[in-house]
């Protein structure tokens, strides 16, 4: 096997100590290291004409692969060139890492979105595309403030109680909060109360393969639960009890809950009270929501009809 001497003289022991498994052909020959493929022919520095040899990676006493480029020259022009080269490569690596990080963030967001059970119609809800008016700008500001302070609200188990007229933008603001927090990596569930109850009830169907406990757990454990249109469900003793169970669990465990509703507190208590029952369960629900929530009032024209 042909050996190639390097025209660059270096102390082989020092190089061996510093570079460990990286050798020029001359250093390898001096150290008794073989190679499987001959090294590429030396090149000349385009600035000063110095001879530049290739280095190879030695494993178990044999160089198995040579580097793709020869050693760098240490003349002033070459040093300047390689400085710019390294800066450009570092920038390219940073841009590539940023693109990969964004892909990972998007994948996480899509996973959170699927977990959220939100209606696809709400996926595009943002604070930016919320139609702001004189009647709702305070509510919008409050929703944005809650979103930005969510980490503190989460620690204190504080949610929102968003009440207002039909079509005033309650669901839009709630879903904008959900989208924003999911982009930050939080696990959010947002569903109308009627759908929550239907999902939990599915656990009673022996054909579903699940139990009530299985179906209710996500609503109990979500970082943030958004119950949309509370009061629209057909209230029965079971539905009132189930809603109380969810809200009371989250209240007791300092888990924030956001509620949107078309009703004020008096009307909502009425809506949550089964026919012929007393109001105790509904009042208990409202008491826990009021204690653990910031209030937002949202009244005005129906924006859906004006679109």
Neighbours of 184 (CB within 10 A): 13
Which residues, given as ranges, of the chain have pLDDT below 70? 1-20, 300-307
Hey, where are the domains in the chain?
Answer: 12-66, 117-306
pLDDT at residue number 256: 98
pTM: 0.73
Return the closest-CA partner of residue 298 out of 180, 141, 191. Answer: 141
pLDDT at residue number 277: 83
pLDDT at residue number 207: 77
pLDDT at residue number 15: 39
Which own/partner pairs from 76-82 qualify as long-range (CB within 8 Å, at least 24 positions apart)?
Answer: 77/47, 77/48, 78/45, 78/47, 78/48, 81/47
As a whole number of angstroms, the distance between CA 243 and CA 253 comes to 15
pLDDT at residue number 165: 86
CATH tag for 117-306 (out of 3.40.50.970, 3.30.360.10, 3.40.50.300, 3.40.50.10490): 3.40.50.300
How many Cα neighbours within 13 Å face the side chain of 80?
6
């Amino acid at each position: 096997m042909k050996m190639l001497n390097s025209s660059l003289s270096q102390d082989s022991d020092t190089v061996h100590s510093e570079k460990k498994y990286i050798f020029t052909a001359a250093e390898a020959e001096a150290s008794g290291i073989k190679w499987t493929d001959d090294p590429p022919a030396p090149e000349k520095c385009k600035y000063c004409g110095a001879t530049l040899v290739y280095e190879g990676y030695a494993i178990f006493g044999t160089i198995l692969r040579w580097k793709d480029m020869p050693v760098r020259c240490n003349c002033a022009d070459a040093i300047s060139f390689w400085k710019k080269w390294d800066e450009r490569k570092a920038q390219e690596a940073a841009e590539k890492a940023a693109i990969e990080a964004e892909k990972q963030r998007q994948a996480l967001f899509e996973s959170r979105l699927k977990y959220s059970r939100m209606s696809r119609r709400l996926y595009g809800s943002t604070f930016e595309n919320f139609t702001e008016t004189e009647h709702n700008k305070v509510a919008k500001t409050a929703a944005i403030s809650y979103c930005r302070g969510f980490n503190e609200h989460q620690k204190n188990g504080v949610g929102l109680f968003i009440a207002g007229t039909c079509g005033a933008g309650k669901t839009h603001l709630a879903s904008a909060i959900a989208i924003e927090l999911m982009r930050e990596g939080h696990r959010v569930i947002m569903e109308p109360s009627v759908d929550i109850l239907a999902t939990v009830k599915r656990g009673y169907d022996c054909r579903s393969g699940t139990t009530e406990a299985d179906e209710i757990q996500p609503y109990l454990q979500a970082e943030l639960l958004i119950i949309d249109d509370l009061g629209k469900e057909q209230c029965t003793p079971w539905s009132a009890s189930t809603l109380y169970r969810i809200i009371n669990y989250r209240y007791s465990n300092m888990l924030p809950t956001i509620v949107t509703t078309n009703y004020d507190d008096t009307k909502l208590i009425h809506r949550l009270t089964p026919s012929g029952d007393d109001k105790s369960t509904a009042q208990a629900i409202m008491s826990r929501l009021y204690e653990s929530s910031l209030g937002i009032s949202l009244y005005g024209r129906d924006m859906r009809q004006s679109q």
